[in-house]
Structure 1
Amino acid sequence: MVLTYDDALDVHLDNAIPVLDSLGLKATFYITANASKGRMYDWKRVAQNGHELGNHTLYHPCLGGEGREWVIPENDLRNYNTQEIVREIEMTELYLRALDGKSSRTFAYTCGDTETSEGSFIPEIKDKFTALRGVDSQLNHIETMDFTDIKCYGLDGHSAEEMIQWAEKAREENALLVILFHGVGGGHSLNVSLENHRKFLEYLKTNEADYWVTTMEEAAQHCKDQKP
């Protein structure tokens, strides 16, 4: 089981981290470096407390176009070439290493997008990370796991009961469940309430004998070691 939080939001520091730490649960926070700079020392403490700081680019570029009018031209991946996104990812890696001192981590595609104007940039970054997380809502089974596209369930108004159902299905199938949080008690249009967030985490703690809750980097490395 992996809990991931995207975009380096203030609510992750203010709302999610206190609950996680109170229960002794570790998570992965996908850091957009530009968004995190105002609280970089808070993020450094997050890493020191055992959470993973994952790479989520420097400026969070996404593919623009119809339905994506919120993507400004300078952050539109259609206006990037492959070298530009790779350099942005590499600069974020240097930033994160300055915070946590680590040379091994995972990456999450911004908006789940994997292409620039020149096509897929996956071949240029796949060997830089233990795994790359996508956004498709599926469980991950070790026999078929694609470490360049780890599946996850994104949250938007979901209840704790729904999350518990995903967890129980993963347990039954001996699969890796990855959950993607954005807003936690606000802070993003994709949001889960504080109550449902806490209730789900408390369920995981209560049933810790049944679930290994860890970082994306550690889970991916374990799956690689176990993969047939």
Structure 2
Amino acid sequence: MEKHLPFMIQKTTLLLLLLATLTASAQSKELPWHNKKCAVVITYDDAIAQHLDNAIPVLDSLQLKATFYITANNTRSRIADWKKVAQSGHELGNHTLFHPCLGGEGREWVRPEYDLRTYSVQSVMDEISLANAFLEALDGKKERTFAFTCGDMTAGGVNFTDNLRKDFIAARAVRNEMHTIDKVDLFNIDCYVVNGENAAQMEQWVQQAIATHSLLVILFHGVEGGNGLNVKGKEHSAFLHYLKANEKDVWIAPMIDLAKFVRTYQAQQKQ
């Protein structure tokens, strides 16, 4: 028996190594987000001054990178500051020139000249293309992601989503949903809109994403003011600190990095 012991030990060691390899492989397939349990993209819409004053300092202090969907018309008084945002590693996404939305009942705040019901697909695409040129002048980049204004995808009653594909990596919508990497639609990416939630409530979204190995996109508008869809500054800060503390489980990235990663993963799965 003793003379066979070294062989038995060697065999057991090989079996343990094989088991470890198989386990690591299985975990890798289950955790596709850079081998983390979920992915989170932090986004801010409309180029509001409070983003510069109240959001950027917290993000930069934690070394977190976010995506700012820029409505170009709103940047006129602080263009140099938005250029610095790009230089510090945040993504500037396209959110049109003038933020047109579908008007009508319940949307009386939409100005007639910016009502997507009266736009053509060509006119909305012209506006989006000019916004891209403006953003390239700020950050020098040609690759970009887009966010539908008010989540609206039609102009003059015609869906223009397919027209975005040649100029954008991805486009974000506004439904409160999250999906696993294989189910993410890159030109209809869902997000959770923050409207008065506190840090604990937002943390529950992250916990759900971790439990389901999903993508969670967070959408902020006002940060301690600037928009009716608002989050208090202290809740915004507490939530970002929570994300930073959970980076071991959460991959936090700008939308363009996330979209490229998903695109590559989904293409590989089709091979």
Shorter-normalised TM range: over 0.9
Is the 1:140–1:150 contact (alpha carbons within 8 Å) kept by the matching residues of 2?
A: no
CA distance in 2, matches of 1:91, 1:222: 27
Equivalent residue in structure 2 for 1:32, among 52, 71, 90: 71
Q: SS of 2:218's equivalent?
A: strand
1:105 partner letter? R
Residue 183 (structure 2) aligns with: 144
Task: Confirm whether residue 102 of structure 1 aligns to residue 148 of structure 2.
Answer: no
CA distance in 2, matches of 1:81, 1:201: 40
Pairing of 1:14-33 with structure 2 (within 5 A): 14-33=53-72
CA distance in 2, matches of 1:172, 1:225: 23
Residue 122 (structure 1) aligns with: 161
Residue 200 (structure 2) aligns with: 161
CA distance in 2, matches of 1:140, 1:110: 22
Residue 27 (structure 2) aligns with: none
**TM-score computed with the length of structure 2 as normaliser:** 0.83
Q: Bigger radius of gyration, 1 or 2?
A: 2
Spell out, residue by residue over 1:6-38, the C-alpha distance to the aligned partner (whole angstroms, 9 max, x if none).
Answer: 000000000000000000000000000011121
CA distance in 2, matches of 1:92, 1:100: 12
CA distance in 2, matches of 1:128, 1:66: 32
1:113 partner letter? D
CA distance in 1, matches of 2:133, 2:224: 31
1:225 partner letter? T
Cα deviation, residue 137, structure 1 = 0.4
Select between 114-123 and 80-89 the one with higher mean Cα deviation: 114-123
Q: Mind listing any 5+ residue stretches in structure 1 that lack a counterpart? A: none
**TM-score computed with the length of structure 1 as normaliser:** 0.98
Aligned length: 228
Cα deviation, residue 118, structure 1 = 4.3
CA distance in 1, matches of 2:264, 2:210: 20
Task: Confirm whether residue 202 of structure 1 aligns to residue 216 of structure 2.
Answer: no
Spell out, residue by residue over 1:151-204, the C-alpha distance to the aligned partner (whole angstroms, 9 max, x if none).
Answer: 000010001111111111111211110000000001100000001100000011
CA distance in 2, matches of 1:124, 1:222: 22
Is the 1:107–1:131 contact (alpha carbons within 8 Å) kept by the matching residues of 2?
A: yes
Equivalent residue in structure 1 for 2:218, among 179, 188, 192: 179
1:64 partner letter? G
Residue 171 (structure 2) aligns with: 132
Equivalent residue in structure 2 for 1:65, among 104, 107, 111: 104
CA distance in 2, matches of 1:37, 1:113: 25
Residue 12 (structure 2) aligns with: none
Equivalent residue in structure 2 for 1:88, among 127, 130, 152: 127
Q: Which aligned segments of 4 or more residues in structure 1 are displaced greater than 6 angstroms? A: none
CA distance in 1, matches of 2:242, 2:144: 27
Equivalent residue in structure 2 for 1:48, among 84, 87, 90: 87
2:186 partner letter? F
Cα deviation, residue 52, structure 1 = 0.2
Tell me the C-alpha RMSD between the 2 structures.
0.8
CA distance in 2, matches of 1:90, 1:133: 17
Q: SS of 2:60's equivalent?
A: helix
Q: SS of 1:158's equivalent?
A: coil
Q: SS of 1:200's equivalent?
A: helix
Residue 261 (structure 2) aligns with: 222
1:151 partner letter? D
Q: Mind listing any 5+ residue stretches in structure 2 that lack a counterpart? A: 1-39
Cα deviation, residue 109, structure 1 = 0.2
